[in-house]
Structure 1
Amino acid sequence: MNYEGVLTKMQTENGSPIQYYLVFENDFLHMNQLLDKKVSINFLRYQCLNCSLQKKIYRQGYCYDCFFEIPQAADWIINPEMSKAHLGMEDRDLAYEEKVQIQPHVVYLANSSSVKVGVTRKTQIPTRWIDQGAHEAIEIVEVPNRYLAGITEVALKDHVSDKTNWRTMLKNEIKDEDLVEWRNKLKQFIPTEAAEYYLENNAETNLQFPVLKYPEKPKSLNLEKNPFYEGILKGIKGQYLMFEDQTVFNIRGNEGYVVSITVN
């Protein structure tokens, strides 16, 4: 079977294990059903996720011009402490920023390669944890806007990492942590403005990924250097496809690439 479309991050359903779907404009693949099958990926061209033009992708699936113009790629996306919509202050598009920023956000701990702190909209739980390849996670605070979540994350970053080591995550070289204990330990560092939103009675969430075999020495597939690849799919974790020959392919990192995928 052959499928063609522009890559966007895989959609997921939490389960035992998590279910993954690669969605194209006119088709979709249930990726769990491809495990242990030969899959080929052929890079055809670029297509910006915003303007749909055939322009080289710069970051996050967008061409250079769109990345520096649209609100979906503004600095507050990566640095939520820079959010200003709650003050009525516009960055690129106040209507969009109010819609996204002024809604419940969660600061959480997730264990992907080690314990890290992160921020997401409440509606993105547990999707955000799945996308990061976290096998366990827990909420710390639930606040009414993105700014409060951002300043809380900044304060906690002095005491816990905010990065994921993708190689460690994919090799599954991780240990279970007591995230309730971590949450309680970090409570004292929550900023005063967010302290009332601390969550103290919740339990950690555990996630199970569809993996038959983890790579020992993962090597990342670069479609620009190697526009055609073929291998046996052995697992899916985070937004990565993992193949028998140790090759791993980051779907999220290749958004905006138009590919054809063949399954044998």
Structure 2
Amino acid sequence: MTVFSGNIRKMHVSTDANHQAQYVLPIGDKHIDINSLIDSHVSVTFDSTINCVHCSVKTKKSFNQGYCYRCLTKLAQCDSCIIKPETCHYHEGTCREPEWGETHCLNDHFVYLANTGTLKVGITRHVTDGVSSRWIDQGATQALPILRVGNRRISGLVETACKGFIGDKTNWRTMLKGQPEAADLVQTRDALLRDISPAVTELKSRFGLQSIHEVEASPLTIHYPVLHYPDKIKSINLDKTPHFEGTLTGIKGQYWLLDGDRVINMRKYAGYALTIEIE
């Protein structure tokens, strides 16, 4: 039996040469290769300690996937404009942390299409070697960047225009139900770009002709290490059930899938102190 203990963080994600999602879980000062645990028996125990993922202070309650209340109210990365980028207020001089905003928001972003069980539009800062970690975090089986824009605020305004024609949410239950039918992302892209053309023209008149560019890219297909998808999802809540164990049958998005149709969103519990035993 192998035992790991410590505060966990969001699983690090990447893809291999075959575009299969790869997962590594930080716990304490160690890192666990979660892909290698598929079909293994795991036992997880929460010891009732939570430390903020930013300042490490002990907190009774976690906010926004790992922050204490003070950090929730003080950090730029916890501001409401992170969820609604079109409301970015850096240009108004009211950013909570201007230097953070300059590093994370005042740079190019991508608007993309993804298949997470249903088609959606989204935004991401990085597309490295054709892949964004955000697509894996959302459990997308297909993804396609369609526009490159000058900053986060513009990406939010473009996304808002897109939402008149396509949704921007991931239904996590649908995402975990199985392998979705492949979608024609190229056809969807072409139709969407036609639909939002008036809005894009207006945004270019506000922010400059170079603020929005179409991206030449091909759809990416992402595979996930899943042996069995749940028939009827039963979500594990560590605050109510501080111990669980069973066979790890898959990983998708930031979720562990276990026998008995159980799932747990590991990202939700960033900052929680866990003991993980692997047989």
TM-score range normalised by the length of the shorter chain: over 0.9
Find the counterpart in structure 1 of residue 182 from structure 2.
176
Measured against aligned partners, the alpha-carbon deviations of 1:233-264 in whole angstroms (never above 9, x if no partner) come to 00000100000111101011111211111101
Q: Runs of 4+ in structure 1 displaced over 3 angstroms?
A: none
TM value normalised by structure 1: 0.95
How far apart, CA to CA, are the structure 1 residues paired with 2:122 and 2:193?
Answer: 15
State whether residues 151 and 191 of structure 1, in contact with CA within 8 Å, keep that contact through their aligned partners in structure 2: no
Of 161, 167, 175, 2:173 maps to: 167
User: What are the within-5 Å matches in structure 2 for residues 126-145 of structure 1?
Assistant: 126-145=132-151
User: What are the within-5 Å matches in structure 2 for residues 120-131 of structure 1?
Assistant: 120-123=124-127, 125-131=131-137
Of 63, 80, 86, 1:81 maps to: 86
* SS of residue in 2 equivalent to 1:163: coil
Find the counterpart in structure 2 of residue 208 from structure 1.
223
Report the count of equivalent residues.
Answer: 263
Answer yes or no: is 1:29 the counterpart of 2:32.
Answer: yes
State whether residues 88 and 94 of structure 1, in contact with CA within 8 Å, keep that contact through their aligned partners in structure 2: no
Find the counterpart in structure 1 of residue 50 from structure 2.
46
Counterpart AA for 2:163 = K
How far apart, CA to CA, are the structure 1 residues paired with 2:22 and 2:9?
Answer: 16
**Aligned residues: CA RMSD:** 1.6
TM value normalised by structure 2: 0.90
How far apart, CA to CA, are the structure 2 residues paired with 1:93 and 1:40?
Answer: 40
* SS of residue in 2 equivalent to 1:168: helix
Percent identity between the two aligned chains? 38
Give 1:28 shift. Answer: 1.0
How far apart, CA to CA, are the structure 2 residues paired with 1:262 and 1:187?
Answer: 49
How far apart, CA to CA, are the structure 2 residues paired with 1:54 and 1:239?
Answer: 24
Unmatched 5+ residue regions in structure 1? none
How far apart, CA to CA, are the structure 2 residues paired with 1:8 and 1:176?
Answer: 32
How far apart, CA to CA, are the structure 2 residues paired with 1:253 and 1:144?
Answer: 31
State whether residues 209 and 237 of structure 1, in contact with CA within 8 Å, keep that contact through their aligned partners in structure 2: yes
Answer yes or no: is 1:99 the counterpart of 2:114.
Answer: no
Answer yes or no: is 1:155 the counterpart of 2:161.
Answer: yes
